[in-house]
Amino acid sequence: MASVHYREIDGRSGGYYLLLIVLGIFIAAGLGAAWAMEHHGHVITGMTNRIVWGAPHVFAVFLIVAASGALNVASVASVFGREAYKPLARLSGLLAVALLAGGLAVLVLDLGRADRLIVAMTHYNFKSIFAWNIFLYTGFFTVVALYLWTMFERRMNGYSARAGMLAFLWRLVLTTGTGSIFGFLVAREPYNSALLAPLFIIMSFTYGTAIYVLVLMAACRWSARPLGDALLARLGSLLGVFVAAVLYFVAVQHLTNLYVARQVDLERFLLREGGIYTALFWIGQILLGGVVPLVLVFAVRGRAALAWAAACVIAGGLAQMYVIIVGGQAYPQHIFPGKEVSSSFFDGVVASYAPSLPEVALGVGGVALALALTVVGLKLLPFLPRSLADAESAKA
């Protein structure tokens, strides 16, 4: 492979500092929202004892899942030996760490008692998938840091492929663990499915690639670095394949539920009678997050089309997470399957939920934190090549 020259972004322009200020405002708003929820209690949110995971969890899980997928480009380069992607691998690792940090920040601050995290880190219940995820998340930081070291340190370049393989396997396990948090909840019919683990894996590939494309395009444009159309076309094709795979797994999941008699009511709720959840599924997840990106990537093509496709994937991904997390809790829980139950506690009634401003502010603050870490990282260390023009990519 031809030598690739990396360089930090200058980060001395007014636009750079303005971007940091805007991101800082959103981060401060998120911290303020977390303080308000801790001080006044979750009564100021839309969450109840029926909907205990609200909008913050939608943002947090989306960022955590996307963090795993952000390593796609690095994995394609190191694990599958595609030399053309190697100049992009450093940014892939930076974005993975930043997204995970943003997601975990939202997750911890949404607990209400963030200090209780110390208990989770010192007392382990190995029968709980939550306990396993403590190791998976912290291990991900370590593995990706090691991977980046092998890419930055010339003497360690020979170990980059092995470190990349370790990172690839670790992120598969991490995303499996995140999906299994929901898949292991047998008491909730919308969650109890072995398909959630592979679905979350392919969702991570899709979300991470979409975010990577937008960050790469923005970073190269704002730092005046050449970015070839051929390289973007490769990334667009990769994104399109992942989007199609997500649609496939979603179709398999719902067709499987329709085949099982006791799941028909659940499918009727999600696909026809679920109100906001049905609308988000068909319009947000399927149309905006699936069909539109496929048309833009494979039919329209072009730089602008790819950017819009990536943005649609992110919007559709948030809708998908909302349907899975919030919609899964809103569906009436059957405590005694096959029995008629009557009480005064909303048996058989769909739980209502409306995200509050503090919840949205906390979630957006986590996104801003991930972007701020990426922006600062690009200034401090040489994560981006000086040129990604097609002529340079052809030498790889």
| Interval 88-106: pLDDT, tens | 889 999 999 999 999 999 9
Q: Where are the alpha helices (DSSP H) in the chain?
A: 14-40, 55-69, 72-78, 89-109, 117-122, 129-152, 160-183, 196-222, 229-259, 264-268, 276-279, 292-295, 303-322, 328-330, 357-380, 390-395
Residue 245 above 80 pLDDT? yes
User: What CA–CA distance (Å, rounded) separates 348 from 50?
Assistant: 12
Q: Average pLDDT for residues 56-70, to the nearest whole number?
A: 93
Q: What is the CATH number of domain 9-331+348-380?
A: 1.20.1630.10
Residue 1 above 50 pLDDT? no
Question: pTM of the prediction?
Answer: 0.91
User: What CA–CA distance (Å, rounded) separates 279 from 327?
Assistant: 11
pLDDT in tens, 125-151: 777 777 777 888 889 999 999 999 998
**pLDDT bucket at 395, cuts 50 / 70 / 90:** low
pLDDT of residue 81: 76
User: What CA–CA distance (Å, rounded) separates 188 from 185?
Assistant: 6
Amino acid found at 222: W
Residue with tokens 């396993």: 132
Closest CA to 45 of 279, 329, 363: 363
Cα 316 to its chain centre, rounded Å, is: 12
